[in-house]
């Protein structure tokens, strides 16, 4: 992240361009103009817009979750999903350039995945559990809006699905001995939870 921090002005300009035009219509020339730097300055650091946007996504996603309270892992994951789902850059990419996300879903982990996995491993104490939690959270981040919109089950909201995510995570993480000791009691169960 050190290199990215030194490039905040360029990344801010890239964010503004992507929000205005989408990734496909953003050029390094546009970004250089907004950042007040030469194109060659950008080309020294980023060979193309996609590599610049990859660094931008890493910065933005990590900023969105950096202050989560990890003392309650379930609440932290659910809040992280909510924050990312409503992040303006996420919304723009999902709406205008969703294919940009495919490599991170199908072929490789990105820097954000690695950073979140490190946090989840620290919280769960188990690399397998950390990966399972990330996969479930990623599924809710990406697919939950499709389950509430047209063609989805009428009356189910994102808040309802977030409650289900919390119930799933509590059930799963609760099986990891001692990992959720001291968690707040009284968290609402998901709507579909039929347990007494």
- The confidence score (pLDDT) of residue 153 equals 59
Who has greater pLDDT, 46 or 196? 46
Q: By C-alpha distance, which of 109, 124, 97, 104 is closest to 181? A: 124
Who has greater pLDDT, 182 or 65? 65
Helix ranges restricted to H, 66-87: 73-86
Span(s) in the chain for CATH 1.10.10.60: 1-54
Position 34 pLDDT exceeds 80: yes
The per-residue pLDDT for range 7-26, each reduced to its tens digit, is 899 999 999 999 999 999 99
Return the C-alpha torsion angle 131, 137, 139, 141, nearest 10: -140
Position 96 pLDDT exceeds 50: yes
Cβ 195 vs Cβ 189: under 8 Å: yes
Report the Cα 44 to chain-centroid distance in Å.
Answer: 28
Lowest mean pLDDT among 21-25, 40-44, 174-178, 192-196: 192-196
Average pLDDT in the 37-58 region?
A: 95
| Angle between helical axes of 111-124 and 73-86 (0-180°, round to 10) | 160
CA distances from 53 to 60, 104, 181 (A): 10, 13, 40
- The confidence score (pLDDT) of residue 175 equals 78
Cβ 33 vs Cβ 16: under 8 Å: no
Residue range 1-54 forms a domain whose CATH class is: mainly alpha
């Amino acid at each position: 992240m050190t290199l990215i921090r030194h490039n905040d002005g360029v990344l801010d300009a890239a964010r503004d361009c992507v929000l205005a035009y989408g990734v496909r219509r953003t050029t390094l020339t546009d970004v250089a103009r907004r950042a007040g730097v030469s194109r060659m300055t950008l080309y020294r650091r980023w060979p193309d817009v996609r590599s610049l946007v990859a660094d931008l996504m890493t910065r933005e996603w990590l900023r969105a979750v950096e202050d989560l309270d990890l003392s309650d892992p379930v609440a932290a994951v659910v809040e992280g999903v909510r924050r990312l789902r409503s992040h303006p850059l996420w919304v723009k990419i999902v709406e205008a350039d969703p294919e940009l996300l495919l490599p991170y879903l199908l072929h490789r982990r990105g820097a954000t995945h690695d950073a979140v996995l490190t946090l989840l491993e620290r919280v769960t104490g188990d690399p397998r559990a950390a990966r399972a939690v990330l996969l479930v959270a990623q599924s809710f981040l990406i697919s939950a809006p499709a389950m509430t919109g047209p063609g989805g089950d009428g009356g189910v909201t994102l808040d309802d699905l977030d409650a289900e995510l919390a119930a799933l995570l509590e059930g799963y993480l609760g099986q990891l001995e001692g990992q959720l000791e001291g968690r707040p009691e009284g968290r609402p169960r998901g709507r579909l939870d039929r347990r007494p």
